[in-house]
Amino acid sequence: MATRTNPDTRYTDVYGIERLRDDDPGAVDKVREKAPLVDHLMRMQDRFASQGGNQYSAGITYFSVMAIFPLTMLTFAILAFVLAARPDLLSEIQSQIANSLPDEVGTVVNDIIEQAIASRGAVAGVGGLTALWSGLGWMTNLRAGVSSMWLIDPTQGGNFVVKKLKDLVALLGLLLAFFIAFTVTAIGSSGITRDVLERLGIDGFPGMTWVIFGVGLAIGVLANFLVFSWMLMALPRTEVPRRSGLQAALIGAIIFEVIKQFSTLIFGALLGNPAGAIFGPIIGLMLIFYLIWRIVMYLSAWAATTRESLDATPTPAPDQAVIKVRNEVSEGPGAGVLLGVGAALGAAGAGVAALLSRRNN
């Protein structure tokens, strides 16, 4: 009869395996236990890496650059419509171009402007369609990236038409957020703070320059906060806990403001040589875009790995384990029978050999 043993429940782990002692935690595990912030950063990095954050950042950067050209066409078409409706403004611009540039160059530039105005309808149509196509592709990948950080399958969420309509609404909302953000930033950097101080009768005081700089910086962070709040809370295809989303948006707003402050240094370094003068602008633009979308992916992973988000997100149950029992029926003699027969034959052979040896003696 086979012996059956049961594990000692005092020493079994969560998997039902009996262990002599628990595994000693490593140095990183000890730091994570003592520092919740480090533990959160590690969870964020694990989520970012496991869900393809690098690939999404690169893909969104590609679609962002591709969307610039049709948006530029659309912008020039809108300006052409404005100039066509304002002949006086067109004449003034052409006069300034003619006075600022050499005769032949000024004539060529004015001819290009007139041709652009004449073909404004076709440019607007082509630019609008391509901008819509590239914008939807950009938004689809952006929503897929931030949703993947929440362990959401990018392919779910309704049929193709419904998803594209939702992406279009999200695109319009993001463009509106960008418009509001840039408007607020322009107001903050247009010297309005100095004008307000002058209206209040404050001509100057020690540290006035720093105060104006600080106010402009705070307004810029506020504008960035609006954009990041929309991207981190409205774009994922799931409900984002408010506290986690706003916290991540504030971090992103501060980091993006730092990038804006150093963007002039980045472009200056890229344009400081002859090769950079040709390829520097597009390379710098791609670099800035890649940094922005990488930050967005990291912040989405941050928001998705807070304790609040982890408690609110149901953990998917693993697939059921299938245990297959294999029954083998042996039709021949068993191992014990064969062993017994072999032993008997061996003993008989030994007896015969002993008998023969005695007769010979």
SS3 for 182-208 is HHHHHHHCCCHHHHHHHHCCCCCCCCH
pLDDT confidence bin for 167, thresholds 50/70/90: confident
Residues of the chain with pLDDT > 90, as a percent, come to 11
User: In the prediction, which pLDDT does 301 show?
Assistant: 94
Asked if residue 275 has pLDDT above 70, the reply is no
Question: Hey, which of 84-98, 122-136, 139-153, 205-219 has the most confident mean pLDDT?
Answer: 139-153
Per-residue pLDDT reduced to its tens digit, 72-124? 777 777 777 887 777 787 777 777 777 776 667 677 777 777 777 777 787 77
User: In the prediction, which pLDDT does 77 show?
Assistant: 78
Mean of the per-residue pLDDT values of the chain: 75
Instruction: Please report the sign of the dihedral spanned by the C-alpha atoms of residue 267, residue 268, residue 271, residue 276.
Output: negative
Residue with the larger pLDDT of the pair 160 and 197:
160
User: In the prediction, which pLDDT does 341 show?
Assistant: 57
Chain centroid to Cα 23, Å, comes to 35
pLDDT confidence bin for 208, thresholds 50/70/90: low
Per-residue pLDDT reduced to its tens digit, 46-57? 999 999 999 999
Asked if residue 41 has pLDDT above 70, the reply is yes
Residue with the larger pLDDT of the pair 2 and 65:
65
Residue with the larger pLDDT of the pair 346 and 298:
298
pLDDT confidence bin for 218, thresholds 50/70/90: confident
| Residue range 261-280: mean pLDDT, rounded | 66
Asked if residue 2 has pLDDT above 60, the reply is no
pLDDT confidence bin for 302, thresholds 50/70/90: very high
Residue with the larger pLDDT of the pair 179 and 228:
228
